[in-house]
Structure 1
């Protein structure tokens, strides 16, 4: 058993593919194994909190992050359904500052995305319903909660061609040009 780590267009953001064992009964896979993550160069991760969200088609959650010293790295996956998952580099000194990567995560492929501290994260649900799992490297702190406008035209994120369903909070985040990155 193992995992495969694939590079994305953003340094330090990785697509993770688990080894899946299937037969006529169904399938088995490991969602996380610290020793095997060490084998693919992600042994430094220390997950302290798991979060689960349920969303319906079109729901758009993001773009969220936590400010230092409570910044979070996230390993995200879809347990049921399919999403367009997005990470935006907020690291001021990064050559990819303000750039994004978009990947489809789904419960058939069982693929995951690792997003380190210093990135905003969001997703939009493609399937009728979705169960979305976040493994986080730091605890949630409400006072550190922050976000970036999901529809900022400078980010050029190819969101789905369906009306987004947003929370009130996600309708009011600043654009990148109005934002002083804490990373």
Structure 2
């Protein structure tokens, strides 16, 4: 009986140790599970945050594409306006053929400015697909080109007014020449009569 009791005590002690071991293992496993749950939640939060950021980036990209498309249209319209101003400049140049050398030099300067503006617009057109920073630079250069174009337009209008004034001066000269011819014809007739009288 005593041996049996000792054996039972040993078994009980073993079971207690095993139970304690299992309880520790359970607690460790439960702790690991909680850690895994926290890690999973953090990963989900990170995933949602990155997903939201990706959506925001896509929206920004679409907005940038829309802005660049509008800038492209603006550049094309500006190119059309440049062509129109170039044609007006050629017409003004033809009308200024009789003006002084200084005015011709000013036309050459105006042509250079127009060529420079056209070059700037071409550079802007090539940069229209750049990133955000390049897009901002494009807007700045475009504003400068528009300002230069406005100045060119003002110059064209100034020369147009000058041409009209020269036309008026030419009309006045034509009238004076016509009057002088009439006076000359009268004087020639008087001279003929005078010669005839002298002969008589």
Q: Which TM class, normalised by the smaller chain length? A: under 0.3
TM-score, L = length of structure 2? 0.16
Q: If each structure's helix is expressed as a fraction of its own residues, which one has the higher value? A: 2
Structure number with bigger Rg: 2
Provide TM-score, normalisation by structure 1: 0.17
* Structure showing the higher strand proportion among its residues: 1
